[in-house]
Amino acid sequence: MRFTRPIWAIAAFGSATAQRPSSTPICDYYTTALFTENTGANQLALLTALVNTVVIGNCKTASQPNSSPHL
């Protein structure tokens, strides 16, 4: 069971890169997909969100006022 996570990650990465045109850089593609406008500020916001999600996890649901913590 130890190796199932890397296999799923590779499969997810493969399907995500298959949708992106090879002539478009990955940062440009996802910045446009998430923020609709490809600017330097939006690329910084994308990378900041990505790094924060990797380091501290998804915190959007915890910041909503009526959400209860999962025990």
pTM, entire model: 0.54
Domain extent listing, the chain:
23-71
- Using an 8 Å Cβ cutoff, are 19 and 7 in contact? no
Q: Give the span between the Cα atoms of 35 and 28, in whole angstroms.
A: 10
Q: What is the pLDDT of residues 61-70, one digit of tens each?
A: 555 555 555 5
Q: What is the pLDDT of residues 13-52, one digit of tens each?
A: 555 556 888 898 989 999 999 899 999 999 999 999 888 8
Specify burial of residue 35 (Cβ count, 10 A radius: 0-12, 13-18, 19+). middle
pLDDT at 55: 87
